A = this chain, B = another copy of it.
Amino acid sequence: MYQNVKSDQHIPRATIQRLATYLQVLEAFDKSLDGKEGRERETISSDKLAAMCDVNASQVRKDLAYFGQFGTRGLGYYVTYLIDVIKDCVNANRRWRAALVGVGNMGRALLNYKEFGRRNFTITGVFDCDPFKIGDRVYGLEIYSTESLIEKIPELGIEIGIITVPAEHAQDAAEKLVAAGIRGILNYSSARIRVSSDVPVEYVNFFHQLYSLTYNVSKIQR
């Protein structure tokens, strides 16, 4: 089978990001084969995957090499198997429960983001510090006080915290999440946050893509 990459190898962030793109494209491709005979034997070449993802083919092969040699020369990769291997690598083959802290526009957008649920990533607890919001329901979930994070996180089996509060409240939200036993934080606020090093933090910064775009746009001569 394939090498288990989790225990020793370090996979760079840029590779993980491309794996997320491959997964999205492969799942859409697999779904398009729905009902077709021999779907489980369908293969895809690195060239084709590369073209579908706007990545160059040697980069795709390099990224997939983290999993060892499991493509077949001239045939490519089994689609369903490749999906499985990538999911296994990023630990997306299990359910993750998340808490959302901060019910503003961004929070609501994420609560309504269907793709999370389809990928076994479920927001099961919603928190805010605004007394006018606490007790209300949003997309079927009751809004709890951030003060109750400490009880609710273990009670609801939540491992991931999503921060969608304004920048000035992000550090406080992070500390409450960590105190409640969260394992990792996805931070949508623009503030840097400081927590214990055994709690990884990932930042969603919309300027990552926006600046890639303005950089690329400006390089094109008109």
Interface residues of A, Cβ cutoff 8 Å to B? 6, 11-14, 16-17, 19-21, 23-25, 28, 52-54, 89-92, 96, 104-106, 108-110, 112-113, 115-116, 119, 121, 159-160, 183-186, 190-192, 198, 200-220, 222
Contacts and interface: CB of A to CB of B under 8 A. Distances in A.
Contacts of A191: 28
Number of chain copies forming the complex: 2
Given A19-B211, A184-B217, 4 more contacts: A11-B215, A25-B192, A121-B210, A184-B214
A74 to B, nearest CB: 26
Contacts of A109: 104-106, 108-109
A114 to B, nearest CB: 9
A10 B96 CA distance: 38
Nearest to A200: B216
Given A183-B220, A206-B204, A218-B91, A212 B17 contact: yes
A125 B108 CA distance: 22
Contacts of A91: 214-215, 217-218
A67 to B, nearest CB: 13
Contacts of A213: 160, 184-186, 200, 202
Nearest to A187: B209
Contacts of A204: 206, 209
Nearest to A87: B211
A21 B217 contact: no
Which 4 residue pairs across A and B have the least CB separation, nearest first? Answer: A200-B216, A90-B211, A184-B217, A105-B109
Contacts of A21: 203, 205, 208
